[in-house]
Structure 1
Amino acid sequence: MATPFGVNLSFCVKRWVTPALWAPIVAEDLGLDLVQLSFDLIDPMWPDDVLDRMAGDIRREAAAAGVTVHSAFIGLAHYTFNQMLHPDPAVRDLAEAWLKRAYRVAALAGITRVGGPLGAIASRRDGREAESISEADYAELIVRMHRLAEAAKAEGLTELYVEPTPMRREWPWTVAQAQTMASDTAGAAVPWKFCVDWGHGTFEPLYGRYRAGMADWYAGLGDRIGAIHIQQTDFQLDRHWDFTETGAVDPVAAVALQRANGLEDVPVFLEVFYPFERDDASILDVLKRSMAILKPAFA
């Protein structure tokens, strides 16, 4: 059985920004029928009348192109803020409100899953990083996650995702932390699952050389993984390269590892980013060549 494979629309940011533009590229140029929307393309804080119209466009254009929008992720713009771990409680409240708005937009667009990283504590003045966030910060985050699940249920969503990142200031960044979070959000109104990323779980500067790897994440989280991001990377930084670049990720081995852990049905999305000044034609070219490499591995 083929493993579901698609693309995160991160490559479209500041370029193919409407579904009338990106849906034909996904279906015709890349030959895919599965995508993950990025909220870099539609800001949940825009006025309702604009959002309602754009959500309708997403639903209509995706259907016309034969593309399923599996989920929506917060994107880079919102990720740059510290979100629900910002030192100012008012900013945490705003981040929670932002996500509730995101759930509304997703539901209007016919998308039933939303996810992304949850936040980051502020850096210390001396630059030293603690091994964990405070118990109070974590407890508050769990309360917010339960509250968000209630909001998601009210909008008709079916799943929410946390994306672990390889940073001590964000949460969770280890398998054990993710397991604890899964236990503490068990019974939420909508299930909280994880989206693991090949550039995050293999980050050697944090996890150690020869110890970093996706096998631990797959084995440790199992069916609590709801989606996977794949990228080409060198395990030294979170590169988000396409597969025309030379790196350490072997697509065939990546799929085999996923299937060996019983996760063959979990959808995988290529998530790549490009400099805004790079020309559009070259991006389409490397994406097509990446698909020629990736799609046979997932078939």
Structure 2
Amino acid sequence: MTEAREPIRFGINLSFCVKRWVTPELWAPLVRERLGLELVQLSYDLIDPMWPDEVLDRHANAIRRAAAENGITVHSAFIGLAHYTYNQLLHPDPAVRDYAEGWLGRAYRVAALAGILEVGGPLGAIASRPDGAESEALDARDYDDLVARMLRLAERAKVEGLTGLYVEPTPLRREWPWTVDQARGMMTDVAGSAVPWRYCVDWGHGTFEPLYGPDHGAMEPWFTGLSDVITAVHIQQTDFAFDRHWDFTVPGRVDAEAAAAMLRRTGLARWPVFLEVFYPFEQDDISILKAVEASAQLLKRSFA
């Protein structure tokens, strides 16, 4: 008997639009008409939560309007590369952590105004040591402070009207969590938060062999070990040597059909998968459009 092929919802993170198609009037018709997609994940590289309220309100309304006019669902909003470059909720200065917590609160506000009900991304990074040595775990005080902030942020998200928050694990020992066991422990520690915390895992993170080793750098342990708390996935083409975020016109080690089969096999096919790719700012726009279009078509076929 042939096993039924479960379709997988496929969309795109708007990371490829950064510094290019920066307004919803530009990216919404591009996504709908050229890529043929109806599902997107907003990047806060396109809208800064620290802009003045009147500017944020106007842009949030524009996102809501353009999405509706183009038949697009904005599933969630992620912090983007710009904010990720800061140490955020794990900076050594508590005042900077407070600022990062406030930044996220404003991100929740603008998401709600735009009709986006879930927000997420990596949480932060501790500072490097002068000798370059990296610990296997966060200091207990840092971890306890992080959990306390996550619980407060869930309260803020509930006030703003959001329904869920995401943590995106990254393959760095200075960030948290970077193993399946750490991720499981974090979900235990934030259980019962005002809105649920869940994971969005990235194909180029769990497969990072310099951290996990060639025998352990794989997505399936993440999918099977955290299947009850993963509710979104990022996919990219990569070589498992770095977190590449290539599109699928570039040769790499991620096979789209095999990826789809793994999601179905591990019970995650019911959750959306977003292509997340980044390009050099100096690369020409036409080549990017062609590459994203080809990648979207490939992945749509594999996930159908």
TM-score bin, normalised by smaller chain: over 0.9
CA distance in 1, matches of 2:231, 2:54: 32
Aligned counterpart, 1:176 = 181
Residues 1:72 and 2:77 aligned together: yes
Identity of aligned residues (%): 69
Matches within 5 A, 1:87-106: 87-106=92-111
Aligned counterpart, 1:85 = 90
Aligned counterpart, 2:196 = 191
Aligned counterpart, 2:162 = 157
1:158-177 superposed Cα distances (whole Å, 9 cap, x missing partner)? 11000000000000000000
Matches within 5 A, 1:178-257: 178-257=183-262
* Structure 1 stretches lacking a partner, 5+ long: none
CA distance in 2, matches of 1:264, 1:44: 32
Q: 2:292 aligns with which of 274, 282, 287?
A: 287
CA distance in 1, matches of 2:10, 2:267: 16
Residues 1:60 and 2:65 aligned together: yes
Is the partner of 1:82 in helix, strand or coil? coil
Is the partner of 1:24 in helix, strand or coil? helix
CA distance in 2, matches of 1:2, 1:64: 25
Aligned counterpart, 2:275 = 270
CA distance in 1, matches of 2:50, 2:172: 27
Is the partner of 1:194 in helix, strand or coil? strand
1:134-188 superposed Cα distances (whole Å, 9 cap, x missing partner)? 0000000000000000000011101100000000000000000000000000000
CA distance in 2, matches of 1:197, 1:232: 11
Runs (4+) off by over 4 Å:
none
CA distance in 2, matches of 1:248, 1:197: 14
**Root-mean-square deviation (CA), in Å?**
0.5
1:255-289 superposed Cα distances (whole Å, 9 cap, x missing partner)? 11111111111100000000000000110011111
CA distance in 2, matches of 1:25, 1:42: 18
1:31-71 superposed Cα distances (whole Å, 9 cap, x missing partner)? 00000000000000000000000000000001101110000
Equivalent AA in structure 2 for residue 230 of structure 1: I
TM-score, normalising length: structure 1: 0.99
CA distance in 1, matches of 2:56, 2:216: 44
* Structure 2 stretches lacking a partner, 5+ long: 1-5
Q: CA deviation at 1:292?
A: 2.1
Equivalent AA in structure 2 for residue 67 of structure 1: I
Q: 2:16 aligns with which of 2, 11, 25?
A: 11
Equivalent AA in structure 1 for residue 34 of structure 2: D
TM-score, normalising length: structure 2: 0.98
Q: CA deviation at 1:223?
A: 2.0
Equivalent AA in structure 1 for residue 40 of structure 2: V
Aligned counterpart, 1:121 = 126
Equivalent AA in structure 2 for residue 92 of structure 1: R
CA distance in 2, matches of 1:269, 1:42: 19
* Number of residue-to-residue matches in the alignment: 299
CA distance in 2, matches of 1:243, 1:123: 33
CA distance in 1, matches of 2:111, 2:298: 31
CA distance in 2, matches of 1:288, 1:18: 19
Q: CA deviation at 1:8?
A: 0.1
Q: CA deviation at 1:210?
A: 2.1
Is the partner of 1:35 in helix, strand or coil? strand
Aligned counterpart, 1:134 = 139
Residues 1:21 and 2:22 aligned together: no
CA distance in 2, matches of 1:291, 1:187: 37
Equivalent AA in structure 2 for residue 97 of structure 1: G
Is the partner of 1:168 in helix, strand or coil? coil
Is the partner of 2:227 in helix, strand or coil? helix
Is the partner of 1:69 in helix, strand or coil? strand
CA distance in 1, matches of 2:239, 2:215: 13
